[in-house]
Structure 1
Amino acid sequence: MTGFDRPRTGCPADLTIGLIDTGVDTAHPALQGRRLKVQSFLRRGETAAPPDHATAVAALLVGDPRQPDLAGLVPDAGIAVAAVFRSRDTATDTTAGRLVEAIDWLLGRKARVINLSLGGPPNRLLQRVVKMATQNGLVMLAAVGNQGPRQPPQYPAAYPGVVAVTAVDARGRLFARANRGDAVDFAAPGVDIWVARPGGGAGFASGTSYAVPFVTALAARWLAAAPALSPGQLYERLEATARDLGPAGRDPAFGWGLVRAAPLPPAGNPDPAVSCAPH
């Protein structure tokens, strides 16, 4: 449908992807031997959230290609995971301050692109840091959220400069619980995605969180091919290669449409051929 079933190659080992999420099951077969660094931002005495979420997202990005059902989109890339989520009673949450610390750490790790499969209310400090980071060349991609079509926008996805990603199924139909609105930029596969689970297992999962890695991986490939690309230039290429869904042009459900795993197009090329490599 989008070219994501093609061979997963083309990202050099010196490119680092940042992931701000939960902790990760580093012993999972899909993640063993990967260039994976995990840093916790929890305070003393806090209980870490279960590692389910980031284990799934990390394996989608850099899963061992020798694990055929869990091979990552860019397995040669490095990944730096900032574990910011804690468990409190029945809830899992984090703070804007932790997100800011995580972004700063990832900048220090020389990450070129950050995957934010998370969302929450607006925060002025986080907005300022996101603006500064994107103006300095960091590509940030975030989930639009799973609260439902009538709910308010989620942040950081709705901040200017952040690529906001929604989820569709294999037939291009929107994930029913996805947030909608003017902030939505692009759609990617995110329904019934086969993902890694802690303890060595795997299973199906759905949500906008699982769509973001598809766009993150494509951004990483393009940055590897053209390191001088600015976030704005990369966005223009994503727009040029997207397949329109819904009403013509940009719309509040699909944004500019379904991202396609195409080679990096030159500026001004509206519709390059689909070619290389998935959630």
Structure 2
Amino acid sequence: MSRPSARPALAALATLLTVALPAAPAAARASSGCATPPAPARLVPARPWPQQRYAPDRLTPLADGTGVTVAVIDSGVDRTHPQLAGRVLDGADFLDPGGDGTRDCAGHGTGVASIIAATARPGVAFHGLAPGARILPVRVSEQQVVEGRESGRTVGAADFARAIRWAVDHDADVLNLSVVLYADNPAVRAAIADAVRRDVVVVAAVGNLHDSGDPRPYPAAYDGVLGVGAIGADGTRSPFSQTGPYVDLVAPGGDVLMAAPGQGHRRAEGTSYAAPFVAGTAALLRQYRPELSAAEVARRIVASADPAPGRGDGYGAGVLNPYRAVTESPGRTADRAERGPALPVERPDPAALARQERRAAARERALLVAGGSGAAAVLVLLLATVLPRGARRRWRPAGPA
């Protein structure tokens, strides 16, 4: 295994399944400001599988993320996409100073932001989980995966830490970190601790290096951070999704549909794209239950996860369920410090609870029947003893005359 890099890498390291048109004209490429701009993509009208699973329209009457700011610290977010128009604030660019975070040469951050906050458009089934949320773009990388290898610039750990602090200072309620450092950096650790202390929900991808031995991912492994792994459409862990105590729960991360820079959509896989489903859920909760602290929001998301179909530490507490997170009261969860990096939860299987309740009711009925039968038997015995004696005494009291 190669030596872990101290530079943050976009967590979608698996091959992109891009739905592309022919290459853009040279003039269009030049005007984008990107040395290697993302390929144009076509509109995909079909309903993606995560929306079939989550049916976010059920949540809209309750919450859509309005009033909540989600910082996407990533490759930038293209605000010109029709489904992101009006949702993207002026942000910051730590890769090319002077920018506002809205240039995306990799397409990664735009896709992440769209999973959170893309609005509905006629003829398109895809939209974000919290379409009322505001996106605060913070650009830290333009890395892409070309033929299985990373290419492109990215900031160092110190600037990554500065980007986190900038987002918190500019009123982010939720941080989405679909980036991974494979080294514990003091500046990043301190920036994350500051965000947690200042009541920000921090969500991070756990990385895609399962086949490389699951190197410890940061910020996902830091205390107070929700570490998110990836599942496919069948609900099982994606083969690339890392396993370890830093996985708090899993969300869709295989063959995920998202917005592409400019217009249209693409499909990709990676824990990068699982994290924004959790960040979007956090935005819904921050709107619907504004009295909850960031730690309470995180515990509620973990406590409401559905049981995972597989076994092992790659699932954490289970599979994200946004509807349950918003509508149900959380069960008892232990504090994360009791088990190290993961946010633990002990939530019984609802089916098992139902079986236990049915068995308890059956036992109560059996005891009532047995009690009634016993009382009847005693009464019969008493009558069998008392009636003959009473008849012999002609029903006079027993005792001396």
CA shift at 1:164, angstroms? Answer: 0.2
TM-score (ref. length: structure 2): 0.62
Asked which structure has the greater RCO (Cα within 8 Å, sep 6+), the reply is 1
Q: Which residue of 2 aligns with 1:24?
A: 77
Q: Which residue of 2 aligns with 1:127?
A: 189
Matched, 1:84 2:140: yes
Q: Give the one of 238, 255, 258 matched to 1:195.
A: 258
* Rounded Cα–Cα distance in structure 1 between residues aligned with 2:98 and 2:127: 35
Q: Which residue of 2 aligns with 1:235?
A: 298
Is the contact between residue 24 and residue 38 of structure 1 (CA under 8 Å) also seen in structure 2?
A: no
Matched, 1:162 2:215: no
Structure 1 segment 41-56 matched on structure 2, within 5 A: 41-43=94-96, 50-56=105-111
> What is the CA RMSD across the aligned residues, in angstroms?
2.7
Matched, 1:217 2:285: no
Q: Which residue of 1 aligns with 2:343?
A: none
Identity rate, percent: 32
Q: Which residue of 1 aligns with 2:317?
A: 256
Secondary structure of 2:120 counterpart: coil
Q: Which residue of 2 aligns with 1:100?
A: 161
Which one has a larger percent helix, Structure 1 or Structure 2? Answer: 2
Q: Which residue of 1 aligns with 2:376?
A: none
Larger radius of gyration: 2
CA shift at 1:227, angstroms? Answer: 1.9
Which one has a larger percent strand, Structure 1 or Structure 2? Answer: 1
Q: Which residue of 2 aligns with 1:71?
A: 127
CA shift at 1:43, angstroms? Answer: 4.4
CA shift at 1:63, angstroms? Answer: 0.8
Is the contact between residue 251 and residue 274 of structure 2 (CA under 8 Å) also seen in structure 1?
A: yes
Q: Which amino acid aligns with 1:240?
A: A
CA shift at 1:246, angstroms? Answer: 5.2
Q: Which residue of 1 aligns with 2:12?
A: none
Is the contact between residue 252 and residue 274 of structure 2 (CA under 8 Å) also seen in structure 1?
A: yes
Q: Give the one of 140, 145, 149 matched to 2:202.
A: 140
Q: Which amino acid aligns with 2:91?
A: V
Indicate how the Cα distance of structure 1 residues 265 and 84 shifts in structure 2: closer, same or farther if over 3 A, else same.
same
Q: Which amino acid aligns with 1:214?
A: F
Q: Which amino acid aligns with 1:143?
A: A
Q: Give the one of 176, 179, 189 matched to 1:118.
A: 179
CA shift at 1:70, angstroms? Answer: 3.2
* Rounded Cα–Cα distance in structure 2 between residues aligned with 1:231 and 1:49: 29
Indicate how the Cα distance of structure 1 residues 272 and 66 shifts in structure 2: closer, same or farther if over 3 A, else same.
farther
* Rounded Cα–Cα distance in structure 2 between residues aligned with 1:82 and 1:64: 20
Indicate how the Cα distance of structure 1 residues 12 and 73 shifts in structure 2: closer, same or farther if over 3 A, else same.
closer
Higher mean C-alpha deviation, range 23-32 or range 109-118:
23-32
* Rounded Cα–Cα distance in structure 2 between residues aligned with 1:60 and 1:38: 18
Q: Which runs of 5+ in 2 are unaligned?
A: 1-49, 145-149, 333-346, 351-401
* Rounded Cα–Cα distance in structure 1 between residues aligned with 2:330 and 2:79: 39
* Rounded Cα–Cα distance in structure 2 between residues aligned with 1:132 and 1:259: 26
Q: Which runs of 5+ in 1 are unaligned?
A: 274-279
